[in-house]
Amino acid sequence: MHTVTYLQALNEALHEEMARDERVFIMGEDVGWNMLGATGGLKEVFGTDRVRNTPIAEAGFVGAGAGAAMVGMRPVVDMLIAPFLYVAFDQIASIIAKSTYLYGGQAKMPLTLRAPMIYGAGNAAQHSDRPYSTFMSIPGLKIIAPASPFDAKGMLKAAIRDDDPVISFEDFGLAGLREDIPDDDYLVDLGQAAVRREGTDLTIVAVAGAVPQALQAAEQLDGAGVSAEVIDLRSIVPLDRETILASVAKTGRLVVADPAHEMGSVASEISAVVAQEGFWDLQAPIVRVTTPHTHIPFSAPLERPLYPSAERILAAAQRVMA
């Protein structure tokens, strides 16, 4: 075992997969310069043929990544920040998500899109989005949002080896989070949620950066005699309905904490699944803790309260327990 941060875990995943498979390469804005800290050392080890800086032309290099994937390579396309996915939306929705279907399974799309989410940091309206809920509605894409160093490494490695396109939404609010991880090679299967804390009175399903906040709220609830089960969703598509429904069947109450905007969110989808398939297990209404349906301001005092916090999750839990 060794201790790494979330960022170091991502870096290890890239190093190991590029060393393991010569078809793996990375491309994107400033990847050779290690702009955000996850691509350090790659250019020195693997050279500029496999670590390619690109122009500021997301539609172009995402499309190039799609073409490379279709002819047998395993590209990792680094978007620098998640909102830049919007610029390449046509390539993602029309080509990357659909090609395996359109060609009757004759074409594979082993493409990984890294989408760092940098919010709560004064990046204002254009650069602070957490757009995984937008992309989860497109069939053909797998969507992950790891919330620990162990998962960041294991899920990114699994994504790179997957024959389907995967968008990895990496919460950079967790960049300094530290955890012991195995020295040996390991993968984390996509499509499986993780129960981070077992409980009997209340289920809290959390996404990305809301996971540590949910665990803090659960600790406070425990002091008040409330046993909260915390589920780290980590895989958005495929969605692990079974783990969520089994937990709600046990606890009878559900809070969903999701840093994305509330309308059309992952929290909304989970709430709909439980309302439709687990309604008779519920003892109280479902409560979502999300970001309001508004743009993100530059001002830190205005931005900070928008996202799920331990305090907001605690208040939601107290509401469903009342």
pLDDT value of position 89: 97
Of all helices (H) and strands (E), which one includes residue 19? helix 6-20
Q: Which of 148, 250, 227, 226 is nearest to 194 (CA)?
A: 148
Write out pLDDT tens, residues 210-242: 999 999 999 999 999 999 999 999 999 999 999
pLDDT value of position 169: 98
CA distance readout (Å), 127 to 84, 120, 165, 211, 216: 8, 10, 23, 22, 27
Positive/negative CA dihedral, 58, 129, 174, 204: negative
For domain 194-321, say whether CATH 3.40.50.720 is its number.
no
pLDDT value of position 111: 98
pLDDT value of position 52: 97
pLDDT value of position 79: 97
Domain coordinates in residue numbering, the chain = 2-181, 194-321
Instruction: Tell me whether residue 300 is exposed, middle or buried, using C-beta atoms within 10 angstroms of its C-beta: 0 to 12, 13 to 18, 19 or more.
Output: exposed
Give the list of residues 6+ apart from residue 200 with CB closer than 8 angstroms, or none.
227, 229, 250, 251
Write out pLDDT tens, residues 183-220: 999 999 999 999 999 999 999 999 999 999 999 999 99
pLDDT value of position 45: 97
Q: Which of 258, 261, 256, 259 is nearest to 275 (CA)?
A: 256
CB distance 75 to 46 below 8 Å: no
pLDDT value of position 200: 98
Which residue ranges of the chain lie beneath pLDDT 70?
none
pLDDT value of position 128: 94
pTM of the model: 0.97
pLDDT value of position 127: 95
CA 145 from centre of chain: 1
- The CATH number, out of the four listed (3.30.9.10, 3.40.50.970, 3.90.1150.10, 3.40.50.11810), of the domain defined by the range 2-181: 3.40.50.970
CA distance readout (Å), 286 to 128, 243, 275: 27, 17, 8
Q: Are 2-181 and 194-321 equal in CATH topology?
A: yes
Question: Which residues are tagged catalytic?
Answer: 127
Residue 290 tokens, joined: 């999300």
